[in-house]
Structure 1
Amino acid sequence: MEERWSTEHVLSLAPDQPSRKAAGKLSAPTPWSATGQGEGTLWGLCKGSGSTPYRTVVELTTPAYKCSCPSRKFPCKHALGLLLLWSGDLLAITATEPPDWVAEWLSSRQQTVERRAAATTTAPADPVAAARRAARRTTRIAAGAAELRLRLADRVRHGLADEPPGDWDEVAARMVDAQAPRLAAQVRELSYLPSQERLAEYALLHLLAGAVGRADQLPEELAATVRNRVGVPADTAELLAGPTVRDRWLVLGSRDTADDRLTTRRIWLRGAKTGRPAVLLAFGGPGRAPELALPVGRLLEAELAFHPGARPLRAVLGTRYGEPEPDAAVPDGVTVGEAVAEYGRAVAEDPWAESWPTVLTGVVPVLGSDGWRLTDGQHSLPVRTGSCPEPALWRLAAVSAGHPLTVFGESGHRGFAPITAWPTNGPATPLT
């Protein structure tokens, strides 16, 4: 029998808040019939508005979903409702042989996986063509970075006070044309920063644009950081073919951010043996949640391949050795003072590091005249504005009840962004 998922884990798969709400109405046995489970798969028929019930199947390992409903969201409310029904009570869905429509989907899915694997192994990339593409991209990025430096210098000469909203959108579009997407995203944000923060961001972008033009003169680790900061993609297959780190990784937190085009999921891990932090990124298109989902507070034994850089953090998930296991222990953390020092070391190696993943121990959330803060009695960190919904901060205060707790988040020059909390001897509480 499969191990039960938490409600929070199931809801983390939802593409948006309306899907979460709709799924809650389908989490009881009433609308379901012919449910079953076996070999890591759930299925069932869900009564809808039509005469024919919707056929819903969920493969738990990936996870993957299939439903006959017309919804363009992925996973749909029926798949989420089926998962909620199962996670609420493992015995609500009994083990049985899958019906023909489930077996056909599983067989078709396996064939697709095998075809993709065969295509990957039988059609290696042309190294000469790849080198030419990389050279062309490098030239375009360097030209875009040079133009950005001129624009920044020109803006400083004319003054920052009269900068109109959206004034940098044209420059951001030029960075997209130069094939530097992350650089474009940073440029686009300039128009919407508070005036007191603008000059500092100008300086950091000017430094980054200058580093692009002389990346061949930088130490390899720093040059890799520069390439990552402007958005030069790394080949996942090459990363996984290189050195990997096998450990039992504690899932510290998970958070989704979305815009009109993309949902980005960040999953933070820490090695139980190595103590090494890592962040995994997964993406989903409009109406689709990212496929990768790991339950917070659990341990996953796996291999990770890290993107190169001066202070490697982003990683790619490689071979897994089993499913995530529960971990009742509260993770070790550091004091506020130690967190500030650790972020300082990160900035010394990577000048563009806005934050660093940190577990604070023995802190209490307090609300003052200047907003929320986390204090350990000696020092305190402000909670970064907009980093956590206000109801979640009140929930954090309620969980604390004035007593110290452990909080995971990102610590940086703008404050601390709380993501997960552990009360004393309590389970992980995601702050979403």
Structure 2
Amino acid sequence: MITSPAWKDKRYAVLGLARSGRATVEALLAVGAEVLVWDDRPEAREPYNGRCAIGDPLEADLTGYAGVVVSPGVPLNTHPIKPHADSFGVPVIGDVELFAQARADLPAHRVVGITGTNGKSTTTALVYHILKQAGVPTTMGGNIGLPILEQEPLPEGGVYVLELSSYQIDLTYSLDCEVAVLLNITPDHLDRYDGDFAKYAASKFRLLSMQTRGHNSIARFKDARSLGKFAEGSIASILEDVFENRGIAPEEQANWPSLQGPHNHENAAAAIEVCDILGLSQSQIKAGLESYRGLPHRMERVAEIAGVAYVNDSKGTNTAASAPALAAFDNIHWILGGLAKEPGLGECEAELPRVKAAYTIGKAGPDFAALLEGRVPVEQCETLDRAVSAAADSAEDGDTVLLSPACASFDQYSDFEKRGEHFRALVEGLE
């Protein structure tokens, strides 16, 4: 695990004992910190009997504490822990901030931080893959993979690749990434920012503002222009210029089977620029792009049956995320719906000429059906099993059945992974 002597003999409260919370407690205890732990579930607290103080930080006197460590799932704009900690002058932080504090005691390394509304998981996994294929010691963490404090420190020369949500950035104050990437910003999770898109955008941009002189920032031109200045002395790259500047032709995307579509053009551009900055050769970068096989639930090609491709894009949880998936195919049988994050079709509107038929599911199904009526053939299926069956019955050789819901999953599934796994199982049942 990753630890720091800087935490020794200090007092911390840890609120929430899921994966990152458990890893945080173990890392703090390993160096002799004093830890107060709490989770609403008694079974989550039980393993810490006799090892830690157990109690709700909301009811604790936090005088002298070095920090309250919370899960990124805790909404700082509404949860009472933030004003309670503020009343004692105690920062509310996350495990990524503890990692940032531990960096001084790790073997010499570099950190790549990647954020954005859409594409950050793919870009993080892609950078990690290219580095690993090139023989660079690397790991990925943050919002992907194992909790960062649970991982073993990399040897000298290693690269930590971190996917960072706005929630994680909100809990981080000293993460100075050697390379920071801001992919894009579109309205999402606005309930955490009091409905204010500007607050959400500013949260994302903080990743770049924490950098120091000589470190590299990568962003789209329009976001960099509208959100403010990069950190003073940082070296800025513009995503739109990457292919031209790095000698890789845009049409070479055809050689990267798991990176099709315009959204993956942007993801690949970010990964190319990151890996170039880190010193990889063009041949190493191209080899990684060609061998990358993608993430589950993100443009995942599940099967081809009777000439029909079945693609699992369950991670398309808003219209901005689903639009690029639609743009990557023609003759689409589109399965959409769930718990809508915004009204309307958003950026998916422009891709409707590619849709041959639509099949709506979930709570937002009737609203989507009304929007699509008269524009594409649409069938209200309510559930995913009915939608897959209906699409399979209608699809012809050369068509694509695409699950890209443009919605959250929580009306019918615990998360988008469960929805994608169900889709995969249903498709496997067709063979």
TM-score by length of 1: 0.22
Higher strand share: 1
From the CA coordinates, give the structure whose radius of gyration is larger. Answer: 1
